[in-house]
Copies of this chain bind each other. A is one copy, B any other.
Amino acid sequence: MAVTEILRREPHVIASGVALLADSAARQGARVTRVSWAPPMAGTDADLDVVLADRRRQPANQDAVARMLGVRAMLVDVVQAGPALGLAPGEFLHAGPPIDWDRASGPLRGALAGAAVFEGLADDPGQASSTAALGITSLDSCHHRGAVGPMAGVISPSMWLFVLEDPADGRRAFCSLNEGLGKVLRYGAYSAEVVERLRWMSAVLGPLLRAAVRRRGPVDVTAILAQMVQMGDEAHNRNRAGTLMLLRDLLAPMAESGFAASDVADAARFIGGNDHFFLNLAMPACKLALDAARGVPGSTMVVAMARNGTDFGIQIAGTGDQWFTAPALVPEGLFLPGYGPGDANPDIGDSAITETAGLGGFAMAAAPAIVKLVGGTVASALASTERMYEITLAEHPAFAIPALGFRGTPTGIDVTLVVRTGILPQINTGMAGKVAGTGQVGAGLVTPPPQVFPAALAALAKLAAAVT
C-alpha cells in the first residue's frame, strides 16, 4: 500500500494500556480500537528478547504440541505400586516437586503418616515427627517415577495403580486409585476408617479391577475424556460422566471376573458412589500426553504443573526435568460446613496436570455446573476458558466445547505467552485442611505463583544463548 493511500484514509487509533490517549482521540471523533494489553512481567525483557529470537522455538513448539496431541491413553492394567514402580518397602512417593519432611505441609505429613500405618510401618500416625519415625526410608516425587497423585499424592508400595499406555510407543503413566471424598488419605486424613478403606482397596478393589481390565482389554481413556467434555465434566473437579463411563465399560467384565458377587457389588457401589473416581485416570492420561513433549530443545511449552503443598513447580519441554518452583498460593473458593479460609492449606497435588493438558480450569466453559463446587459464575467459567486461549499454543481437537460451538479447549501453555501477557494459568482444585489429619475443607480456584514463569524463561534464555 502506498503511503499516499494511507494518508487518504480515515485515521484509526489502536490504543492499549492507560485510557488517556484513547479517550482523548475518541472525544475528537476518531475511530478508536482498544486493545487489552499489559506490559510483560517485570524484569523479563532481556530473556524474552533472547527466547523469542530463538529460531528453534516455533518448530520446537509445533513439535511439542503435535507429540502431546498425538497420544492415545489406554488403561491397560491395574498393578501394585511396589513391583510396578520399583518401590522397596519404606520407599514412598508424593505429589509435586521434591520436598522433605521438614518443609512438608500438614496434609502431606498426614498422608505420609496414614500410608505408613497402612504399610504396617507405624502405629500412631498422630505422633509422627519425621519420615524415619514413620519407617519411611526414601521420599521422592511421583513425577520422577512416571506417576501422578492427586492432593498429597502419596504412593506407597502396597497401593494399587492404574497403568495407562500409549499404544504407539508403549510409554506408560501411573496413578493411584481414588478413595472418595472427605476424610481420605490424599487430603491428609489418617484415621482408622481411612486406613481401613485403603486395606479394602488393596485386598479387593485393585485385584478386581485388574481382573476386569485384563478380561476386557484396554479402555480408551482419551475417548472417555473427549466424551466427558460433551457431558459437563472438565476432568479435574468434575469427573461424574467419566466415572460413569468407566463403570459402564468395566461392569460386564467385573461381573464375569469370577470374584464373589458381593465383591463385585461392593466395587460397583464404591466407584458409583464417588464422582471423582475417574480423576485418577484423567491425570495419568494427561501426564502420558505431556510426557511425550518432554525434552524438545527450544520448546517453551509447559509439560508439568505440580504442587507438594509447600512449593508449586513447573517443568518445560525445552529444559529437561528441571523444576522451577515458588511458594504455592492458597486457593479461594467454597468451603465445606465448619471450615473457612483460615483452614486451607496452600495448593497441593499433581492434578494440575489436567490444566497443563487443556482440561480442568482450562475447560470450565464445558462444565458450567462446576461453579457450584469451586465458586464463581457461569460467565466467569466461560471467561476463564476464553482467557486461557491467550497463553496456549493449540486448541485440543479431541476436547470440543459445545458451548463454544465445539471449539477445542486451550492446550499447551507457552511460558513466553504467560510472561508477555501476565495471564496466569487458571487451576481449579480441592482444598486440603492445613492441619494433618483434617481431610478436605473445600474447593476453589488458584493460579501458579507468577515467579515460576520468569524463572523458567531465564533458563530457556540461557539455553537459547548457548546455541546461538
Contacts and interface: CB of A to CB of B under 8 A. Distances in A.
A241 to B, nearest CB: 6
Contacts of A406: 378
A260 to B, nearest CB: 9
Q: Give the number of times this chain occurs in the complex, counting copies.
A: 2
Nearest to A242: B244
Contacts of A230: 232, 369
A403 B232 CA distance: 10
A262 B266 CA distance: 18
A213 to B, nearest CB: 15
Interface stretch (A153-161, A248-256, A292-300): A248-256
Interface in A219-246: 227, 230-233, 240-241, 244-245
Contacts of A252: 264-266, 268-269, 272
B269 A403 contact: no
Given A248-B247, A402-B368, A253 B232 contact: no
Contact of A244 (B245, B253, B264, B377): B245
Contacts of A43: none
A261 B255 contact: yes
Interface string A64-94: 0000000000000000000000000000000
A405 interface: yes
A266 B252 CA distance: 7
Contact of A231 (B241, B247, B251, B403): B241
A55 to B, nearest CB: 40
A53 to B, nearest CB: 41
Given A368-B402, A368-B403, A378-B406, A272 B255 contact: no
Interface string A401-427: 011011000000000000000000000
Give the bracket for the number of chain A residues in contact with chain B.
Answer: 35 or more
A255 B268 contact: yes
Nearest to A269: B252
Contacts of A249: 272
Interface string A199-233: 00000000000000000000000000001001111
A282 to B, nearest CB: 16
Given A241-B241, A248-B247, A402 B232 contact: yes
Given A232-B230, A232-B402, A406-B378, A261 B251 contact: no
Interface in A377-409: 377-379, 402-403, 405-406
A241 B231 CA distance: 7
Specify which of A251, A379, A403 lies most central, judged by the most chain B CB atoms within 10 Å of its CB: A251
B272 A265 contact: no
Contacts of A232: 230-232, 241, 402
Given A369-B402, A378-B403, A240 B251 contact: no
Contacts of A264: 252, 255
Nearest to A233: B231
A384 B256 CA distance: 45
A241 B266 CA distance: 22
Interface of A: 227, 230-233, 240-241, 244-245, 247-249, 251-256, 261-262, 264-266, 268-269, 272, 368-369, 377-379, 402-403, 405-406
22 contacts: A230-B232, A231-B231, A231-B232, A231-B369, A241-B244, A244-B244, A244-B248, A247-B247, A247-B251, A248-B268, A248-B272, A249-B272, A251-B268, A252-B265, A252-B266, A252-B269, A255-B268, A256-B261, A261-B261, A378-B403, A379-B405, A403-B403
In order of increasing CB-CB distance, the 7 nearest A-B pairs are A244-B244, A368-B402, A248-B272, A252-B265, A251-B268, A255-B264, A255-B265
